[in-house]
Structure 1
Amino acid sequence: MKSLLSLIAAGAAALLSTTVAAQAPATDFPSKPVTIVTPFAAGSGPDAVLRLISDKLGRLWNQRVLVDNKPGGGGFIAIEQARRAAPDGYTLLQLDSEHIAALPHLYKSRNFVTLQHFDPVASLFRTPFFVAVPTDSKWKTMGDLVAAARAQPGQISYGSWGVGSPGHLGGQQLESLTGAHMQHVPYREVSQLFANVGSGEVAWSFASLPSSQGIYKAGKLRYIAIAAPKRIPQMPDVPTMAESGGPAGLEVNSFVSLLTPKGVPAAIRARINADVAKVIADPEIRARFDTFAFEPLAWSPEEIERNAEVKSKIYGELVRRGNISLE
């Protein structure tokens, strides 16, 4: 009987300890270095921004904030490493909206739903995408491109940085909205993709500014539209999708967030959210974002989930209609 009472008392103490930890203010967080695992390769746009943010967070927290690049495996290498970490706030995971919203549809047999294993904790930025064509392309507008694709079913090629990427799914969405049929050409290397667009080996692709600016500045690419409802200051002469004669409802973008493994106390998640928002507001961070045409975001975790849900519905339909799989 005494043994049973001891077990009950121990269980109650553990439950109380967990409850107190979840409710207590995170005034002592962090008390040791924090690691941010990312599926993005070193030197990429998201990695460059993350390193600047990590440096600012480290100064704010008076602790080292380490970036651990784990590219490959469709994001699962980074995801699995972060998922195995203790749910204490000392391991964060940087993911884009496609890792959150598209990945469950692309790897159905894994039965992996990202937000069943992680909680969104802070938003970082959103990336708009342009439609890039070779400089000598005869297409001057999206209207020209769509007309050509309709007139030559399956003959017009577009490149992307991988199956299931925003560049691929954006192309699928363009086909869906216009009734056109085009040939998708996935690339392993982003640099090779835009080099081949510039040389005309593929007819067009979606492109972010940081990934395509080298070829653009070399005079080999033109942007004929931005897949967004309004123009951006960095490229004020590039028309919106609707202004260029494309489908007004086509928006192609990707947002990047920080997540924690399920089980991190709410107070610590709130602390991380508030401190990341402070860092995102830093003028140096804003200036770097402007360079990349990244839109800074200060979403709550609930807003991240709502925006991911919207994308998940769109991506789920596109994956189903296109019979796309990464199994």
Structure 2
Amino acid sequence: MTRAAGERGSRMSRVAPAGRRHWLAAVGLGLAAWASAWAQPASQPAAVAFPTRPVSLVTAFAPGSGPDAVLRLVADKLGRAWPGQRLTVDNKPGGGGFIAIEAVRRAAPDGHTLLQLDSEHLAALPHLYKARGFETLKAFEPVAVLFRTPFLVAVAADAPWKTVGELLAAAKAAPDKLSFGSWGVGSPGHLGAEQIELLTGAQMQHVPFREVSQLFTAVGSGEPAWSFASIPSSQGAYKAGKLRYLAVAAAKRLPQLPEVPTVGEAGGPAGLEVNSFVVLVAPRGLPPAVRNAIHTAVRQAVAEPDVQARFQTFAFETLPWSPEEIERQAAAKSKVYAELVKRKAISLD
């Protein structure tokens, strides 16, 4: 030990016990603060003043549809959370979603123009319109999820099949004779049925309809033989006694329809899930703080009791997804849809 070190040790030995305790405590607190600062995760986006002008919510869905109804309900909540700024809902349905997409695509990435799309716009559209070379999630970034809806297998009330197993047996006994309907080529109703074909080996004819109301009127009459259906889109025909639900394509039964089995329970492919989720997106380049502000506001709006009551009526599911999780879920659907589209060479170009 050097002389200087010895002198320091001697001085320390002369410090009163209480003084040493205070000194050591101060050093410990300093080290703890340094370690805590070092271990802090990356800072969250700082709070930001938003919105600073009117907000436009553009939707690819028609007025009166389930997604439109939810958007208007959420818009009302956002208007109260963002006082002083006007919110408008602008319906631009048609064109496979491209009418709405093109209306927002070149908007400033500042959060004041948002677009409502579903998971098929995100995950199926790039495969269905290959010639366009357009990838939805390269042009837009997710901001918030609104809800997810499961789909049920619907047949006419007087259809001879009592289970999905019986329906599929009939389809296999007469390849390409049994038909299924959907609300358009590339819709989740269409691609969900293609997934059943892939999993079971059944071969059926697809009959697309232009209007959802026309679809379920036709299914209720027995032609086409069946279709996927959401509760809000088919409840009119169901309550009128025209439709019967054979199963729900979900992991578990719906609380709203506890008597309806899952597809697996009804003799179909085990674990089959056919659903669609609806989100808000913005042009790429949104500042993280703005995205965080919108995401938080939408989550709070969706959690409101009256919004949740509407969701319960329609079996819409609330999801705790971050924008990053929305992208992961869309990527998973994209892999499934890519295989289905390639298998039948399905195209909307």
Map 1:70-85 → 2, pairs under 5 A:
70-85=92-107
Work out the CA distance in 2 between the residues paired with 1:48 and 1:152. Answer: 41
Work out the CA distance in 1 between the residues paired with 2:323 and 2:256. Answer: 29
Kept in 1, the 8 Å contact 2:45–2:292? The answer is no
Work out the CA distance in 2 between the residues paired with 1:80 and 1:178. Answer: 38
| DSSP 3-state at the match of 1:224 | strand
Which letter maps to 1:172? E
Aligned to 2:20: none
Aligned to 1:59: 80
CA drift of 1:298 comes to: 2.4
Distance 1:24 1:157, change over 3 A: closer
Work out the CA distance in 1 between the residues paired with 2:282 and 2:257. Answer: 35
Work out the CA distance in 1 between the residues paired with 2:255 and 2:87. Answer: 32
Which letter maps to 1:33? P
Residue in structure 2 matching 1:30, options 51, 63, 67: 51
Work out the CA distance in 2 between the residues paired with 1:291 and 1:109. Answer: 40
Q: Do residues 155 (structure 1) and 177 (structure 2) align?
A: yes
Q: Do residues 240 (structure 1) and 262 (structure 2) align?
A: yes
Aligned to 1:185: 207
Work out the CA distance in 1 between the residues paired with 2:187 and 2:218. Answer: 18
Work out the CA distance in 1 between the residues paired with 2:183 and 2:191. Answer: 11
Aligned to 1:39: 60
Work out the CA distance in 2 between the residues paired with 1:230 and 1:245. Answer: 14
Work out the CA distance in 1 between the residues paired with 2:123 and 2:193. Answer: 17
| DSSP 3-state at the match of 1:255 | strand
Kept in 1, the 8 Å contact 2:145–2:326? The answer is yes
Residue in structure 1 matching 2:292, options 254, 270, 273: 270
What are structure 2's unaligned runs of at least 5 residues?
Answer: 1-43
What are structure 1's unaligned runs of at least 5 residues?
Answer: 1-22
TM-score (norm 1): 0.92
Q: Do residues 300 (structure 1) and 322 (structure 2) align?
A: yes
| DSSP 3-state at the match of 2:193 | helix
Number of aligned residue pairs: give it.
305
Q: Which structure's CA Rg is the greater one?
A: 2
Deviations 1:31-61 (A, max 9, x none): 2111111010011010001000000001001
Work out the CA distance in 1 between the residues paired with 2:333 and 2:86. Answer: 34
| DSSP 3-state at the match of 1:295 | coil
Kept in 2, the 8 Å contact 1:124–1:298? The answer is no
Map 1:54-203 → 2, pairs under 5 A:
54-62=75-83, 63-203=85-225
Map 1:211-222 → 2, pairs under 5 A:
211-222=233-244
CA drift of 1:25 comes to: 3.3
Work out the CA distance in 2 between the residues paired with 1:111 and 1:27. Answer: 35
Aligned to 2:10: none
Which segments of structure 1 move beyond 6 Å, counting only runs of 4 or more? Answer: none
Distance 1:129 1:165, change over 3 A: same
| DSSP 3-state at the match of 1:124 | strand
Aligned to 1:249: 271
Work out the CA distance in 2 between the residues paired with 1:164 and 1:318. Answer: 10
Deviations 1:249-276 (A, max 9, x none): 3210000011110111110001111111
TM-score (norm 2): 0.86
The alignment yields a C-alpha RMSD, in angstroms, of 1.0
Which letter maps to 1:153? P
Deviations 1:147-200 (A, max 9, x none): 001001000000000000000000100000000000000000000000000011
Work out the CA distance in 2 between the residues paired with 1:24 and 1:215. Answer: 48
Deviates more, 1:176-185 or 1:59-68: 59-68
Residue in structure 1 matching 2:71, options 26, 40, 50: 50
